[in-house]
Structure 1
Amino acid sequence: MSRTATDTVLIRDLVHRWASAVHTGDLAAVLADHADDIVMYDVPPPHEGVRGLDAYAATWPPFFAWQASGAVFEVAELDVTAGADVAFARALLRCGKEPEPSATEPRLRLTLGLVRRGGRWVVVHEHHSFADTSEPADG
């Protein structure tokens, strides 16, 4: 297996571990593959995002509480592009309470930027979003 193929597998495993940790509310595992200088843009405010691992960690407890009330959080699609020392992953995740989300909607969009540090991949940028499904205003 080529280095790029091996890195792609490693990053796919990292994303799946992260999603599983989010689903189970395991903060230590959520943080495990994130850099100290992580920047995250999330669905809820602050709109300028959060910077640093401590600020990133502080965003998770409210989500874990919501998650524990019967929500799903799982990877539905995942694509990885890996270079020698920089990679990105883009994914669609099922994120909602049953019976929602349906088989197709809604999907949480996830983009991760990763760098190789100390011989391993770490997430330095994370972005979550949902598509705006509101009707456009007439005008």
Structure 2
Amino acid sequence: MSHAEEVRDLVRRWTEAVHRGELESVLADHADDIVMFDVPPPHRGVRGMAAYRELWPPFFEWQRSGAVFEIDEIEVVAGEDVAFAYALLRCGTPDELAERPDQRLRLTLGLRREGERWVVVHEHHSFADTSGPSG
């Protein structure tokens, strides 16, 4: 399997774990020094595994309302020691997706190779701001 295929598989496993609400599987391929910028606060991001871990239970609770979290498209660029993936995900409740069927969560991941495995060192989630002049 190529490095790009390994990263693509890691992202697929991660999104499936998020959708199932399996915290330990969500955390499994993340570095202890993870930095994440997310849609909700804190807008300066979270740093470290302990802070990253704390963000997921409220999201899982929201997801139990029937929300979707699935990859729509993904691209991966991978070298020998570093890689990044960028993806669009369907993320929302059935009502939210019906109201805005084209809206996608934007995901960017930065990864580094540690031994024989890839780990996520940076994670960024965002939605396009549709409130501005070009929205």
Aligned partner (choices 69, 74, 79) of residue 73 of structure 1: 69
* 2:71 partner amino acid: V
Listed as ranges, the gaps of 5+ residues in structure 2 are: none
Aligned partner (choices 50, 54, 61) of residue 50 of structure 2: 54
Listed as ranges, the gaps of 5+ residues in structure 1 are: none
* TM-score (normalised: structure 1): 0.91
CA distance in 1, matches of 2:125, 2:52: 13
RMSD: 1.6
Q: Structure 2 matches for 1:1-139, cutoff 5 A? A: 6-102=2-98, 104-136=101-133
CA distance in 1, matches of 2:92, 2:40: 15
CA distance in 1, matches of 2:103, 2:59: 17
CA distance in 1, matches of 2:84, 2:94: 30
1:104 positional shift? 4.7
CA distance in 2, matches of 1:117, 1:135: 41
1:99 positional shift? 4.4
**Residue identity (%):** 67
CA deviations 1:44-68 (Å, max 9, x no partner) are 0111100001100100000000001
* 1:121 partner amino acid: W
The structure 1 segments of at least 4 consecutive aligned residues displaced by more than 2 Å after TM superposition are none
1:100 positional shift? 3.6
